[in-house]
Amino acid sequence: MIVLAIDIGGTKLAAALIDSSLRIVARREIPTPASQTPDALENALRVLVTPLYSEAQYIAIASTGIIQDGVLTSINPANLGGLSHFPLVQYLSALTGLPGVALNDAQAAALAEYQQAPSRIRDMVFITVSTGVGGGVIQDGKLVTGSGGLTGHCGHTLADPHGPRCGCGRIGCVEAIASGRGIAAAAQDELSGLDAKAIFAHAAQGQTQAVALVQRSARTLARLIADLKALTDCQRVVVGGSIGLAEGYLSQVQHYLAQEPAVYQVELYSAHHRSDAGLLGAALWAQGSRQ
């Protein structure tokens, strides 16, 4: 079976044809449009998948947002230009004529990354540090999604009660501080208006404010990881997303995690599948749901 996998993030949309041995045979990527109405996302998805879908038999979607019964509901609509609701499977199935499944992007990536873990690992958490901060939880070898799809949304746990307001409505979420949008929103003076990628480039040059913004994100992520260790007793945490994968970021997270008491230490890995983890996890989910 050839699966058309689609990864919908707050910054980019990716699609790939994936064969039954989980090899990516074609891949495309375009920016995520920002609009409160679904039309822009519909158009972008059409442009993205039209050159690919005739080769596929099934659709597998990994998407930002709470995903339940094939429908996306944003916990933080600001990450999608204000879009809070989108019927993913219904729209893409009607467009392509193919059946499909959908799950959260970080939950999908957790599945793909768990396949790479040795069998001694039974409990694992995947965290994406990207437009937002998302998470996927594996417990006793199985992905946990929860009855409402919310399991793993660790970006919306509290990092600082005096921190900035998050797009989800809470004050001081991890996402409001550590994510790409959080980093960009805190930038001032000569860095104001820049995106996280540009701020990382300034940090690599030693620019003081940029270095501090990256450190603040890494320190916040390390505290989140200690919390996740306490909650799940995970033996491994895998970090992905363009910020999670940025050069030097994970070693900073490791540095701050090492300052926590011994009981909160856990092995940290970069995502083996890099930016393809969501696509591959969605394909795995589809293979599982077809068995």
Which of the ranges 48-56, 69-77, 111-119, 255-263 carries the binding residues for ligand BMX, by CB under 6 A? Answer: 69-77
Total residues at the site for ligand BMX (CB under 6 A)?
22
List contacts with ligand ADP (CB under 6 A): 9-12, 32, 130-131, 180, 195-197, 200, 241-243, 246
Give the nearer residue to Zn ion in terms of CB position, either 173 or 224: 173
Q: Which of 16, 22, 74, 103 binds ligand BMX (CB under 6 A)?
A: 74
Binders of ligand BMX among residues 124 to 183 (CB under 6 A) are 128, 130-134, 153, 155, 175
Give the nearer residue to ligand ADP in terms of CB position, either 38 or 122: 38
Binders of Zn ion among residues 128 to 187 (CB under 5 A) are 156, 166, 168, 170, 173
Return the structure tokens found at 121.
Answer: 């690992």
Return the structure tokens found at 43.
Answer: 């158009």
Residue 272 φ/ψ, nearest 5 degrees: -60, -40
Q: What, of ligand ADP, Zn ion, ligand BMX, none, does residue 246 touch, CB below 5 to 8 Å by kind?
A: ligand ADP
Give the nearer residue to ligand ADP in terms of CB position, either 152 or 241: 241
User: What binding mask, one character per residue, do residues 19-58 give for ligand BMX by CB under 6 A, x or -?
Assistant: ----------------------------------------
Least gap, CB of 134 to ligand ADP (angstroms): 8
- How many angstroms separate the Cα of 17 from the Cα of each of 41, 47, 158, 168, 186? 20, 15, 38, 33, 38
Least gap, CB of 119 to ligand BMX (angstroms): 27
Q: Which of 96, 104, 217, 275 binds ligand BMX (CB under 6 A)?
A: 104
Q: What, of ligand ADP, ligand BMX, Zn ion, none, does residue 41 touch, CB below 5 to 8 Å by kind?
A: none
Nearest to 195 by CA among 44, 34, 22: 34
Helix runs in the chain, H state only: 39-49, 88-96, 105-115, 174-178, 180-186, 196-204, 208-232, 241-244, 249-257, 277-289
Exposed e or buried b for every residue in 1-34, given b needs 16+ CB within 10 A? Answer: ebbbbbbbbbbebbbbbbeeebeeeeebeeebbe
Amino acid at 97: G
Least gap, CB of 188 to ligand BMX (angstroms): 23
Give the nearer residue to ligand ADP in terms of CB position, either 239 or 286: 239
Sign of the torsion angle spanned by Cα atoms 49, 85, 221, 105: negative
Nearest to 214 by CA among 224, 200, 197: 200
6: left (phi over 0), alpha (psi -120 to 50) or beta: beta
Which of the ranges 40-48, 51-59, 63-71, 139-147 carries the binding residues for ligand BMX, by CB under 6 A? Answer: 63-71
Residue 240 as a binder of ligand BMX (CB under 6 A): the answer is no
